Amino acid sequence: MRESIECAESGLYTGPAYRLIREDAEHPVILVCEHADRFIPAALNDLGLDETAAQEHIAWDLGALALAEQLSETLGATLLAANYSRLLIDLNRPLHVPDSIPSQSEIYQIPGNQSLDEATREYRQQCLFHPFHDRLRALIDQRLADNRTVRVVGIHSFTPVFYGQPRALEAGVLFGEAKDYAQRIVDGLSRHSLRVAGNQPYKINPSTDMTVPVHGDARGLDSVLIEVRNDLLRSPTAVQAWSAYLAPLL
């Protein structure tokens, strides 16, 4: 049990840091959705953002949770998903990097994250970051102890326009050490005439990424992060289609 921290945000994070679906699933894949939700406690006034900005990609990955939930149902696989906005603390960033708690995201200033004292930063870590990663680590530990195969798959989405530049890419498979696993997914998606590539639109960096390097590569497990362009995840039919593309490949 971590020591309680007193700060200006004490008592705000009363809900659980994550939701866990199909904890005891037999499927080897553990699905992870670190940017599943845009929830910010009302007392923080959306960290000073206007209503439009607070609903944008900077706060969460639009469509990612719906896709992760559909994959979990289709595969019968465990899903660990965040319950709070990435703007409070980014669960796919190591704690030492500047955008762990971003003061700016893309073109948006985040007033509520500027000039945070260390106690508040530590409180968010204690309430949101550590419970999520401790639970993921425990899930993996138990399965390895049971001599089960484990694969870790992050589910994310990306914007169709980035800094004014349209993105033609429809999906990316990000990887570090799991090149063969990633290529299998890229090849499988390509057979559906989808515009897909490895390590695009981003790349896995052990210094700035969390889930794949720490929970996958460092433990010798196949691990990838799936990125789907979020305008392709705007309806239940679209989500089901992407799940049907991905499920047989994971």
Q: What is the pLDDT of residues 213-229, one digit of tens each?
A: 999 999 999 999 999 99
The 3-state DSSP class for residue 195 equals coil
pLDDT, tens digit (0-9, with 9 covering 90-100), for 132-174: 999 999 999 999 999 999 999 999 999 998 777 889 999 999 9
Nearest alpha-carbon partner for 127 in 84, 164, 165: 84
48 lies in some domain? yes
Tokens for 198, please give them. 């490895």
The residue range of the domain holding 128 is 18-249
119 lies in some domain? yes
28 lies in some domain? yes
180 lies in some domain? yes
Domain total for the chain? 1
172 lies in some domain? yes
pLDDT, tens digit (0-9, with 9 covering 90-100), for 66-85: 999 999 999 999 999 999 99
137 lies in some domain? yes
Confidence class for position 1, pLDDT limits 50, 70, 90: very low
Q: Which CATH number belongs to the domain containing residue 36 in this structure? A: 3.40.630.40
pLDDT, tens digit (0-9, with 9 covering 90-100), for 26-59: 999 999 999 999 999 999 999 999 888 888 889 9
8 lies in some domain? no
7 lies in some domain? no
On the question of pLDDT at 3 being above 90, the answer is no
Q: Residues near 72 by Cβ (< 8 Å), separated by ≥ 6? A: 21, 22, 25, 31, 78, 79
